[in-house]
């Protein structure tokens, strides 16, 4: 394992070095992003505060949209798990909605909510709510039937059953669902900010990282800043993943 | 344990009626088709667009993007996975690259793709390939690593050549994973297609969304959304049917990547 790690580090270092050398040797600085250029872009955008502020705006949108999605999706999914007839009625509908890419709603979201960022929140909510609801449904179905029978035999009402059996029993599945749907939500906010930016042009709009990419693309055409934004998008995805895993270890230590 | 037909069909039908009914009610109440077109207007727009051929052109353009991009992406994913399974050194070398690129997601490449290729069909094709390559790569590699050692040993003991081991043991054992990965890839590709067409293309269903919005034809926007949903369901059903036909013997959940 240690040897593998060294090979991995060496490969990355070699690629970065070769990449830099190739660009320096050919004088391609303005056309292709270079490692040094990306570092310089990060330094410049952190110093003037635009990168942290763009990341914060995008992330707040994800948090807001995700919170709404959780407030809708988790109760609906749990209710579906507890009442089969509801599940039979709603599940095909949710499945069908899932094959509409969230970003397809952007013209309507812009129309209803405006370009300042609420449209992006809507897209985030849409992207996260369907996987959350379907996983909550799945989570309840996977609960050990004997536990449900036992709580029934011991005279628990539906509320006690929900609180003592169903919610704790769903947590491991839900953690995975949170991880996956938060990832979708992050992709969706970037897509929404990009689409809004393309639509209304630079200078206004959502102020998130997607908007920053559009400004870079259409105004400054600075490939290093563009690559910096992409790197940040990737790092936030990794952070979301790690955060959800950490939450899982804390909330359901018996499972993870 | 399958419910009888009326029990399976009636609840979703009832729910669909409730949804359509309330949609219709709200739309009637607002009486503003530019804000919320009623389901009826959307249906009319859909028939209209299908009838005059506009929608067919958009669908064909999108399917062209999807077919080309998915073919390239899934092909690269499959070939790389096979090479990585065969040459362990390649896998160690390529793994950090994959882990570096995978979280960046296809969407984040949109501005870069627009810069490189300009607005046009290349942007969606590039993004679809990028998005489709990773899930099938990861699933196929997992499938090839997961081949039962005992089966390989048995094959060897029975005198199978290296080639026979690959065609008769490794390939069938990995196939369910490959197909599961293909399905995941298609889902990612579909979303990438819509986003890329919306932002960096001059044809396809995604591009049409903003086009119709320019003219405040929300009925047509909704009609395009409906078509995107229907085609998405159809494409997924196609791959599921393929899976069922080819590896119906393998239980569905054991090959989730």
Catalogue the long-range contacts made by B18-22 (C-beta closer than 8 Å, 24 or more residues apart): B19/A93
Most B CBs within 10 A among A101, A122, A206, hence the mutation to make, goes to: A101
Residue B115 has its nearest CB partner, among A85, A105, A221, at A221
The predicted structure's pLDDT at residue A219? 82
Q: Give the confidence band of B128 by pLDDT, cuts at 50, 70, 90.
A: very high
Contact at CB, A223 and B200, closer than 8 angstroms: no
Q: Which of A89-98, B12-21, B89-98, B203-212 has the lowest mean pLDDT?
A: B89-98
Share of chain B above pLDDT 70, in %: 96
CATH number of B190's domain: 1.10.3720.10
**Mean pLDDT value of segment B194-223:** 91
A132 φ/ψ angles, rounded to the nearest 5 degrees: -65, -45
Shortest CA gap A166–chain B (Å):
22
One digit per residue, the tens of pLDDT, for chain A of length 256 reads 567 778 778 878 888 888 888 888 877 666 788 888 889 999 999 998 889 999 999 999 999 999 999 999 999 999 999 888 889 889 888 988 988 989 999 999 988 888 777 899 999 999 999 999 999 999 998 888 888 888 888 888 888 888 888 888 888 888 888 988 998 999 999 999 998 888 777 666 668 898 899 888 888 788 889 999 999 999 999 999 899 888 888 887 776 4
Residue B109 has its nearest CB partner, among A7, A230, A237, at A230
What is the rounded CA–CA span in Å between residue A69 and residue A66?
Answer: 5
Average pLDDT, chain B: 88
Residues 6+ apart with CB under 8 A from B80: B94, B133, B137
* Residue entry with tokens 């997961």: B146
pLDDT in tens, B27-38: 888 888 788 899
Residue A187 has its nearest CB partner, among B8, B105, B111, at B105
Shortest CA gap A150–chain B (Å):
23
Residues 6+ apart with CB under 8 A from B156: B165
* Residue entry with tokens 């995805």: A237
- Chain B residues near residue A198 by CB distance under 8 angstroms: 198-200
| Domain extent at residue B50 | 37-255
- Chain A residues near residue B15 by CB distance under 8 angstroms: 89-90, 93
- Chain B residues near residue A223 by CB distance under 8 angstroms: 112, 115
Q: Is B18 inside any structural domain?
A: no
Q: Is B25 inside any structural domain?
A: no
The predicted structure's pLDDT at residue B2? 55
Q: Is B27 inside any structural domain?
A: no
Number of domains in chain B: 1
Residue B111 has its nearest CB partner, among A99, A199, A226, at A226
Of the candidates A173, A183, A205, the residue with the CA atom closest to the CA atom of residue A62: A183
Q: Is B15 inside any structural domain?
A: no
Residue B75 has pLDDT above 90, yes or no: yes
pLDDT in tens, B221-249: 999 999 999 999 999 899 989 988 888 77
Q: Give the confidence band of B256 by pLDDT, cuts at 50, 70, 90.
A: very low
Of the candidates A202, A179, A198, A201, the residue with the CA atom closest to the CA atom of residue A190: A198
Judged by a CB distance cut-off of 8 A, whether residue A133 touches chain B is no
Residue B253 has pLDDT above 70, yes or no: no
What are the distances in angstroms from CA B103 to CA B97, B130, B194, B214?
A: 11, 12, 19, 33
Contact at CB, B199 and A88, closer than 8 angstroms: no
Most B CBs within 10 A among A9, A99, A216, hence the mutation to make, goes to: A99
Q: Is B176 inside any structural domain?
A: yes
Q: Is B235 inside any structural domain?
A: yes
Contact at CB, A229 and B232, closer than 8 angstroms: no
pLDDT in tens, B48-67: 999 888 899 999 999 999 99
Q: Is B17 inside any structural domain?
A: no
- Chain A residues near residue B199 by CB distance under 8 angstroms: 194-195, 198
- Chain B residues near residue A231 by CB distance under 8 angstroms: 104
- Which domains are assigned to chain A? 34-251 (1.10.3720.10)
Q: Give the confidence band of B3 by pLDDT, cuts at 50, 70, 90.
A: low
The predicted structure's pLDDT at residue B216? 85
Residue A237 has its nearest CB partner, among B103, B111, B193, at B103
**Mean pLDDT value of segment B169-188:** 90
- Cβ neighbour number for residue B18 with a 10 Å cutoff: 12
Q: For residue A148, with 0-12 CB atoms within 10 Å meaning exposed, 13-18 middle and 19 or more buried, which class applies?
A: middle
Contact at CB, A103 and B112, closer than 8 angstroms: no
Judged by a CB distance cut-off of 8 A, whether residue A213 touches chain B is yes
Contact at CB, A234 and B104, closer than 8 angstroms: yes
Q: Is B12 inside any structural domain?
A: no
């Amino acid at each position: 394992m240690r040897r593998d790690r060294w090979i991995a580090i060496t490969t990355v270092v070699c690629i970065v070095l070769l990449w830099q050398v190739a660009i320096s040797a050919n004088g391609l600085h303005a056309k292709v992003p270079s490692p040094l250029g990306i570092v310089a872009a990060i330094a410049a955008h952190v110093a003037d505060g635009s990168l942290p502020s763009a990341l914060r705006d995008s992330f707040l949108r994800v948090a807001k949209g995700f919170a709404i999605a959780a407030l809708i999706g988790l109760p609906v999914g749990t209710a579906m798990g507890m009442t089969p007839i509801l599940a039979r009625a709603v599940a095909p509908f949710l499945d069908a909605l899932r094959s509409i890419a969230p970003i397809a709603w952007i013209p309507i979201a812009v129309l209803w909510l405006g370009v300042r960022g609420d449209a992006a929140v809507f897209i985030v909510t849409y992207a996260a709510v369907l996987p959350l609801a379907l996983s909550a449904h799945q989570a309840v179905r996977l609960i050990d039937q004997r536990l449900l029978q036992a709580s029934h035999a011991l005279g628990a009402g539906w509320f006690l059953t929900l609180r003592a059996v169903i919610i704790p029993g769903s947590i491991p599945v839900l953690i995975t669902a949170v991880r996956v749907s938060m990832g979708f939500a992050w992709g969706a906010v970037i897509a929404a900010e990009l689409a809004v930016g393309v639509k209304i042009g630079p200078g206004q709009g959502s102020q998130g990282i997607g908007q920053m990419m559009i400004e870079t693309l259409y105004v400054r055409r600075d490939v290093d800043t563009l690559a910096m934004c992409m790197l940040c998008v990737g790092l936030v995805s990794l952070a979301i993943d790690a955060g959800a895993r950490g939450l899982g270890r804390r909330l359901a230590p018996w499972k993870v | 344990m399958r419910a009888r037909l009326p029990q399976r069909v009636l609840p979703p039908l009832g729910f669909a009626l409730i949804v359509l009914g309330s949609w219709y009610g709200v739309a009637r109440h607002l009486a503003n088709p530019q804000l919320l077109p009623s389901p009826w207007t959307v249906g009319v727009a859909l028939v209209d667009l299908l009838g005059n051929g506009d929608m067919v052109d958009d669908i064909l353009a999108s399917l062209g993007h999807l077919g080309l991009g998915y073919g390239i992406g899934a092909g690269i994913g499959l070939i790389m996975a096979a090479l990585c399974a065969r040459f362990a050194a390649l896998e160690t070398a390529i793994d950090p690259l994959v882990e570096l690129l995978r979280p960046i997601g296809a969407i984040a490449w949109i501005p870069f793709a627009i810069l490189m290729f300009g607005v046009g069909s290349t942007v969606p094709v590039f993004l679809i390939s990028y998005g489709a390559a990773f899930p099938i790569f990861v699933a196929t590699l997992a499938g090839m690593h997961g081949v039962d050692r005992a089966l390989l040993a048995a094959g060897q003991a029975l005198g199978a050549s290296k080639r026979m081991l690959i065609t008769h043991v490794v390939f069938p054992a990995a196939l369910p994973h490959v197909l599961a990965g293909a399905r995941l890839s298609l889902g990612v590709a579909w979303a990438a297609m819509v986003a890329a067409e919306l932002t960096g293309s001059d044809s396809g269903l995604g591009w049409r969304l903003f086009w119709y919005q320019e003219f405040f034809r929300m009925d047509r926007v909704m009609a395009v959304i409906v078509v995107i949903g229907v085609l998405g369901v159809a494409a997924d059903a196609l791959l599921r049917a393929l899976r069922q036909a080819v590896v119906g013997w393998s239980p569905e959940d054991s090959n989730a990547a």
